[in-house]
Amino acid sequence: MTDTIFSKIINREIPADIVYEDDLCLAFRDVNPQAPVHILVIPKKSIPKLIDATDDDQALIGHLILVASRIAEQQGISDAFRLVINNGTGSGQTVFHLHIHILGGRSFTWPPG
């Protein structure tokens, strides 16, 4: 596994406010929230960017999205939330371990910034 802040959270080397965990993924509150609810869902498998995912990762990517949906429901934002995956520096990705942002609890505009 590539050594990132997210791998350190998975390995419990640094603390996080974990809201969900299973054999494939972990979800925790973002330390710099951009919405009242801002949770990151990360795979335990190291995939630096979405573009690096392979056909073998198809079930895992689907699992991450379903987990994000369940977490949104548990957080009381199932009627209005946004999922964001940034791919690469130009899109705003700062941690190179694939992650899905769950954002909710406020209104959003379109197009996003």
pLDDT digits (tens, 9 = 90+) for 5-35: 999 999 999 999 999 999 999 999 999 999 9
Which residues form the domain of 80? Answer: 5-104
H helix runs in the chain, sequence order: 5-10, 58-74
Helix (H, G, I), strand (E, B) or coil at 96: coil
State how many domains the chain has: 1
Query: Is the confidence at residue 108, as pLDDT, over 80?
Result: yes
Does the residue 50 lie in any domain?
yes
Compute the distance between CA of residue 63 and CA of residue 34 in angstroms, rounded to an integer: 24
Q: Is 38 a catalytic residue?
A: no
Does the residue 112 lie in any domain?
no
pLDDT at 112: 84
pLDDT digits 0-9 by tens, 42-101: 999 999 999 999 999 999 999 999 999 999 999 999 999 999 999 999 999 999 999 999
- Active-site residue, from 38, 97, 99, 101: 99
Does the residue 34 lie in any domain?
yes
Query: Is the confidence at residue 113, as pLDDT, over 80?
Result: no
Does the residue 54 lie in any domain?
yes
pTM value is 0.95
